Structure 1
Amino acid sequence: MSDTHRRAEVLSAHAKVLSGAERATDTRELFGRTSAKLRRLMPFDSAVWAATDPETGLITAPMLVENLGSGEGCSAYWESELLEEDVLPFRDLARAVVPAAGLRAVTGDLPARSARFRRLLGSQGVDDELRAVLRVDDRPWAVVSLFRMHGGAPFGPAETTLLAGLSGPLALLIRRFARPSASAAGTDVPAPGLVLFDSSGEPTSINEEARQHLSQLPQGPSIPSQLGLRLPIWVVATAHQARAIAQGRERTGRARVRIRTVDGRWLICHASCLSGLAGRPGPVALVIEPVAAADRAVIIADAYGLTPRELEITQLITRGLPTSEIASTLFISPHTVRDHVKAVFGKMEVSSRGELVARLFAEHYRPSASKSGRLPRRMDRAGSRPDVRVS
């Protein structure tokens, strides 16, 4: 078969998969549609599709698990991913030239070289795993694992190429679904919540605020606990990441993930490992709370594909700075500022600074506005220039 014919086949396969994905109305539906289309082109027995926080790469909601075991097994899978040295971790795939690879291919057809295979996959009947990171602009928006059970052929180069080629297009769709909506406005939220985990990762204590936050998270894989509730796998994985950092296994990452609630609000989970007696690792403290204004702006910037410089300029706009002051602050020319502002307007589908500020903040501060009859002070100042043009 000629290279031209192979490329044509791959493009045709991509079009078939994406035709279903583009009709999805949210990320979970996208996962389901993509998995069903993909299975017809490259058979697999089980799959895990998980959204990730584009800032840290940690898993977040939603997650789709097909034909696999219980939440306890899911927890062990992510614990292995974060706490064991292994081949083919997602963090490496996120930076790889090709963001997909098969376990048998990278181990020379000796999957037992993988700690994950030895401890989990082999005993569950898995013969091969094909992994990918769905990314755009070097930001990971989801991860996927496809599994073939005993008796199936290993994933081949053509199948790896097919999945890798879907990485960018699918990530763009997921990024679009991450855009905030006004449906979250007007909802009162509790204060920060706290969950404590012991040094082995078992949850041992929780406050009422954390229970309230957890009750608002989407359905998905979870594990039972002695606290009288099931803990979502995204929360448990964040605690695992804190342990990995404390053990020196993760030197650059952070135990921090943003999760969208069922009513469209954003919460942030961040965890750290406390010190125990004689310097030994102690419990993990995990805080779950509403995102702060700065984090909300970053979420929106990620969702609309703003560059770091465009985000800087957007944040200065929200502070009410005119073009000349933005240029002076960033040591660039006013003309360059105007070019960046035009790019921001195009990506965020607005036509004025006032609309931009409203999209960033106003729709998501209505609880405060409804109580006081006005926008927060920062909004008053930033939003007082609704008619300022790009120039």
Structure 2
Amino acid sequence: MVLRSRADDDRLVTQVAGICARAQEPLVLLERVAAAVRRHVPYDVAGWLLVDPDTLLINGVYEEDVPRQAQLGLIELELGSHGDDLNKFVDLGRAKVPAAALSATTGGHLERCLRWTRIYDPEGFGDELRTVFRTGAVMWGHACLTRLAEEPWFSRREVDVVARLSPHVAHGIRTGLLLNEEWSEEAHRDDGPGLVVLDDDGGVESATPDALERLGPVEDGRLDGSVVVHEVAAQARALAERCVSGPPAVARARAVTGEWLLVRGTRLAGPAGRTAVLVEPARRSDVAPLLLHLHELTAREREVTQLLLTGMSTADIAQQLWITSETLRGHVKAIFAKLGVGSRVELVARLSHEPRVRSARGS
């Protein structure tokens, strides 16, 4: 197997960031990402999947040579009551690092994993690398890369570089889904995304009413002079042209109405240089990291907060962080005071993802 340098890792991240910065249908995006990753992190079979972020159920698959029976068996184990299985996608979605190799998790004893003994071993497969594509606490898809039994296990370096791709792929999936929506007035939701299209000189070619309402009307200059719109568009252009590396073209901003927004940029296809900027209401989980910074939580307090939001018990949190229960209580007390909450329930209500609800007309 070819040894890769860290410069090669950086080039892969820049390449995938460029792919994800261009508007495209999500399954097409996954196919292109898979081709780039496979050249750098070789594997024999793989499933690249889209999921519903509210239910985590699969709603799209790009598969590479996965035997059908193995595919069905993996789905059954993932959704079944086998809570002791390892590296489940739902657990990776809450983990600090959004990727893991089965060989590392089992300490080299693959037989400790239920799906390896039931599915991979009989099919002649060895190590598995899993990753999730998430923005904040919201998951938009995941991937499962597997090697044959005679191939080397996935290295720590390979896991790390795949983990670095997560926010870019999540951003690409989300923007692709948004742009594939109907933009007619009849289909446009009141709480859905707005759209601004900019040319390469920063001029506004078009904008939907929702975008104008949230960012300000074009005629008084507020939209044309909005820093966040132009910053996000510039980052999307640079990523798509692979002029820079860095985070996806996403920013959190306040609307003129006071609500928090997510502003996303993506490069549009076609000969004319155009960039779409999507403006949507932010979920609480999208804003939570920013709120933690605004309220001046320390790095340890932010770490404790994230663990509290997973539902982990205080005893387990103390054990995982290698601190005493008394020290943990001090952190929790400080967190509650800074965020103005009095209980874990109030903390979750303030920071976690809430389901989106649409009522029938006239109700």
TM-score, normalisation: structure 1:
0.48
Residue 148 of structure 2 aligns with an amino acid whose one-letter code is: M
The answer to whether the 8 A contact 2:48-2:61 is kept is yes
The corresponding residue for 2:204 is: none
Give CA deviations for 1:100-148 in whole Å, capped at 9, x if unaligned.
Answer: 0000111011111001111111111111110000101211110100010
The corresponding residue for 1:340 is: 258
The corresponding residue for 2:92 is: 93
> Secondary structure at the residue paired with 1:101?
strand
Give CA deviations for 1:159-192 in whole Å, capped at 9, x if unaligned.
Answer: 0011000000110010101215227998xxxxxx
Give CA deviations for 1:273-315 in whole Å, capped at 9, x if unaligned.
Answer: xxxxxxxxxxxxxxxxxxxx9xx777x46x99xxxxxxxxx9x
> Secondary structure at the residue paired with 1:47?
strand
The answer to whether the 8 A contact 2:51-2:57 is kept is yes
The answer to whether the 8 A contact 1:18-1:34 is kept is no
The whole-number CA distance in structure 1 between the counterparts of 2:88 and 2:11 is 30
Residue 78 of structure 2 aligns with an amino acid whose one-letter code is: E
The answer to whether the 8 A contact 1:24-1:33 is kept is no
The corresponding residue for 1:110 is: 109
Give CA deviations for 1:64-121 in whole Å, capped at 9, x if unaligned.
Answer: 1111112x43222111112123011111100111000000111011111001111111
The whole-number CA distance in structure 1 between the counterparts of 2:65 and 2:55 is 28
The whole-number CA distance in structure 2 between the counterparts of 1:99 and 1:125 is 26
More deviation, 114-123/14-23: 14-23
Instruction: Report whether the alignment pairs 1:77 with 2:80.
Output: no
The whole-number CA distance in structure 1 between the counterparts of 2:278 and 2:181 is 13
The whole-number CA distance in structure 2 between the counterparts of 1:94 and 1:345 is 23
The whole-number CA distance in structure 2 between the counterparts of 1:182 and 1:101 is 37
> Secondary structure at the residue paired with 1:64?
strand
The whole-number CA distance in structure 1 between the counterparts of 2:165 and 2:156 is 14
> Secondary structure at the residue paired with 2:48?
strand
Change (3 A) 1:88 1:23: same
The answer to whether the 8 A contact 1:21-1:33 is kept is no
1:342-361 pair list within 5 angstroms: 343=261, 348-349=278-279
Residue 82 of structure 1 aligns with an amino acid whose one-letter code is: L
1:344 Cα deviation from its structure 2 partner: 6.7
Change (3 A) 1:108 1:17: same
> Secondary structure at the residue paired with 2:73?
helix
Aligned alpha-carbon RMSD (Å): 3.7
1:338 Cα deviation from its structure 2 partner: 3.9
The whole-number CA distance in structure 1 between the counterparts of 2:102 and 2:90 is 15
Instruction: Report whether the alignment pairs 1:138 with 2:56.
Output: no
The whole-number CA distance in structure 2 between the counterparts of 1:45 and 1:53 is 27
Residue 53 of structure 1 aligns with an amino acid whose one-letter code is: D
The answer to whether the 8 A contact 1:20-1:37 is kept is no
Give CA deviations for 1:217-261 in whole Å, capped at 9, x if unaligned.
Answer: xxxxxxxxxxxxxxxxxxxxxxxxxxxxxxxxxxxxxxxxxxxxx
The whole-number CA distance in structure 2 between the counterparts of 1:41 and 1:105 is 20
The whole-number CA distance in structure 2 between the counterparts of 1:297 and 1:86 is 41
> Secondary structure at the residue paired with 2:75?
helix
Change (3 A) 1:108 1:171: same
Q: How many equivalent residue pairs?
A: 212
1:181-196 pair list within 5 angstroms: 181-182=181-182
The whole-number CA distance in structure 2 between the counterparts of 1:168 and 1:50 is 15
The answer to whether the 8 A contact 1:111-1:128 is kept is yes
1:68 to 66, 69, 76: 66
Residue 340 of structure 1 aligns with an amino acid whose one-letter code is: G
Change (3 A) 1:23 1:157: same
1:16 Cα deviation from its structure 2 partner: 2.4
> Secondary structure at the residue paired with 1:182?
coil
1:1-391 pair list within 5 angstroms: 8-23=7-22, 25-60=24-59, 62-70=60-68, 72-83=69-80, 84=82, 85-179=84-178, 181-182=181-182, 300=192, 338=256, 340-341=258-259, 343=261, 348-349=278-279
Residue 66 of structure 1 aligns with an amino acid whose one-letter code is: E
Change (3 A) 1:105 1:167: same
Q: Give the number of the structure with larger relative contact order, counting CA–CA contacts within 8 Å between residues 6 or more apart.
A: 2
Residue 62 of structure 2 aligns with an amino acid whose one-letter code is: L
The answer to whether the 8 A contact 2:99-2:163 is kept is yes
The whole-number CA distance in structure 1 between the counterparts of 2:75 and 2:96 is 24
1:22 Cα deviation from its structure 2 partner: 4.0
Give CA deviations for 1:339-390 in whole Å, capped at 9, x if unaligned.
Answer: 534847897459xxxxxxxxxxxxxxxxx9xxxxxxx668xxxxxxxxxxxx
The whole-number CA distance in structure 2 between the counterparts of 1:35 and 1:344 is 27
Residue 40 of structure 1 aligns with an amino acid whose one-letter code is: R
Change (3 A) 1:102 1:184: farther
The whole-number CA distance in structure 1 between the counterparts of 2:11 and 2:263 is 34
Give CA deviations for 1:54-73 in whole Å, capped at 9, x if unaligned.
Answer: 1232222x211111112x43
